[in-house]
Amino acid sequence: MSSEKFVIGVDYGTDSVRSVIVNANSGEELAASVFYYPQWKKGAFCDPEKNQFRQHPEDYVAGLESTIKECLEKAGPEVAAQVKAISVDTTGSTPVAVNKEGTPLALLPEFKDNPNAMFVLWKDHTAVKEAAEINEHATKFDINYLKYVGGIYSSEWFWSKLLRILRADETVREACYTWVEHCDWIPFLLTGGNNVDEIKRSVCSAGHKSLWNAEFGGFPPEEFFVSLDPLLKGFPSRLSSKTYTSAEKAGVISAEWAERLGLNNDVVIGIGAFDAHMGAVGGQIEPYYLSKVMGTSTCDMLVAPANEVEGILVDGICGQVDGSIIPGMIGMEAGQSAFGDAYAWFKNVLIGPFKQLAAQSSVIDAETAARLVEEVEGKIIPELSKQAALLPVEEFGEYAIEWLNGRRTPDANQALKGAFLGLDLGSDAVKMFRSLVESTCFGAKKIVDRFNEQGVPVKGLIGLGGVAKKSPFIMQMMADVMNMPIRIHKSEQTCAIGAAMFAATAAGIYPRVEDAMAAMGQGFDAEYHPNPERVAIYAKRYAHYSEAGHAIEGLLSEEVHA
């Protein structure tokens, strides 16, 4: 045991945080723990009708302590004594207003219940107007400051969210010193930071969401932001022009957190990054293979050697940044704003009335009704998938457009809405579900098409995350629609495992993250191959989907400008 080294990966997802302890020599997972955010679970501080989704930093801090301590308890004191490093991934862009000390305002008594003082979750789309203003404003400058983020700035990202909060809440505006991403704040917290000017910002978050690029000398100049809105005065200058890759150290654990967690004082804390970026590493990404982290949304990651894609800028993606995934390679990000969320929405549509009626039942008692609802809720998607897999694939029939949470890639437009088409009296829940799944696969194909069309060839697919592991039906359809095999990674926790690989690299256990991937990777346990007969039919249906999407986008555009 004394010769073995252990690392901790912490993965902050949309609903929960998960920590894992991993043997850095072999990649073996020794312990895992999950903490569901209590306030988020209650729906506190969120308003789906307004596309407002906020998370309280108290949930993040409690989850960090709870999961790491439980992992250490499971693994035992000998393992705890040999933990060398911790690295963290988070959703993003999920920023928060902080004071000069780097404390999120919601942790101060006067802002405890103010949603505008909390982390603005990635899926929060309250800043659609601000994003549109940024896109229009950028056309006025000789330098194209949007060229490394696909040419279109999104309401899901750093600056649009900051401007929305500053405009919406005067009290937060007066107290806010700067704006910090979740993935940058947790390492700052663990290292005992108390001066936010000294925070080490990740090239991942800065490059993909905040308009940072080495070509600009950092962020765009203050003039760019102040001429957009004077409320942004001072904010660019409070962001350091220096960024760091996740293979580097944020520092070492503070004495307070070492004692709090039961760790040694020399534990290295790595630079944070977004979940999909670390997940791609945990899933053993390869150059030109699109690694699809499939959860509530999808994040599609691709890496390519810098010299091979020099001069190529892919339009409409979520950025391409040197070193954002693997140091020395260009990291490219795309994704869909709703994937698992789309299936969850459909499930809720079906079960919503049943929940209400079961609670009012005169046939069964309240406890039995609640247990029945829970049982049915857990079985709806598996049963729909089972029945949908038996349906024949035909050129015509029900269609869906999956933009239930807007569109992330290609060409971000969070004002778009989802739709069902071709319904008749023969349409039922199974057929509608099948068309919804198909639409998420078609949306995924749009991303692959964009990379291919613009000179970055997609050579294969790697499936990661819950949907990839749990739904053979969806993965087979993905292979058929894409006309391309998709390999499914063995690990169910690729994001947390990726964070552990970066922790091992930051601690110097491995000189490069590629070496950590090779030593700690778990490999693949399934591969789906396209069915040639279905490929031809899906190609025709894809053309109809594209036509319908174009028409709906045009219709919604007319509504916006009416």
Residue 218 region by backbone torsions, left for phi larger than 0, else alpha for psi between -120 and 50, else beta? left
What whole-number distance in Å separates Cα of residue 377 and Cα of residue 374? Answer: 5
Pull the structure tokens for residue 444.
């995924």
- The closest of 2, 151, 1, 10 to 500, measured between CA atoms, is 10
How do strand 460-464 and strand 289-294 relate by DSSP bridges? parallel
Residue type at position 390: L
CATH topology of domain 340-478+531-561: Nucleotidyltransferase; domain 5 (3.30.420)
CATH number of 6-283+491-524: 3.30.420.40
The pLDDT of residue 2 is: 56
Q: Are 406 and 125 in contact (CB under 8 A)?
A: yes
With cut-offs at 50, 70 and 90, classify the pLDDT of residue 561.
Answer: very low
| Angle, vertex CA 482, rays to CA 149 and CA 342, nearest 5 | 70
pLDDT > 90 fraction of the chain, expressed in percent and rounded: 95
Question: What is the chain's Cα-based Rg?
Answer: 23
With cut-offs at 50, 70 and 90, classify the pLDDT of residue 558.
Answer: low
pLDDT digits (tens, 9 = 90+) for 421-450: 999 999 999 999 999 999 999 999 999 999
| Total-model pTM | 0.90
The DSSP-derived string for 381-398 is: HHHHHHHHTTSPP-SSS-
What whole-number distance in Å separates Cα of residue 456 and Cα of residue 453? Answer: 8
What whole-number distance in Å separates Cα of residue 507 and Cα of residue 320? Answer: 27
Range 172-201 average pLDDT: 98
Q: Are 314 and 454 in contact (CB under 8 A)?
A: yes
Strands (E), 231-362: 243-244, 249-252, 268-270, 273-274, 289-294, 298-305, 320-322, 329-336
Polymer length in residues for the chain: 562
Write out the residue limits of the CATH 3.30.420.40 domain(s) in the chain: 6-283+491-524, 340-478+531-561
Pull the structure tokens for residue 289.
């293979």
pLDDT digits (tens, 9 = 90+) for 474-527: 999 999 999 999 999 998 899 999 999 999 999 999 999 999 999 999 999 999
Q: Are 57 and 96 in contact (CB under 8 A)?
A: yes
The pLDDT of residue 559 is: 58
Give CA torsion, residues 495, 500, 501, 507, to 10 deg: 150
The DSSP-derived string for 416-463 is: ---EEES--TT--HHHHHHHHHHHHHHHHHHHHHHHHHTT----EEEE
Q: Are 512 and 327 in contact (CB under 8 A)?
A: yes
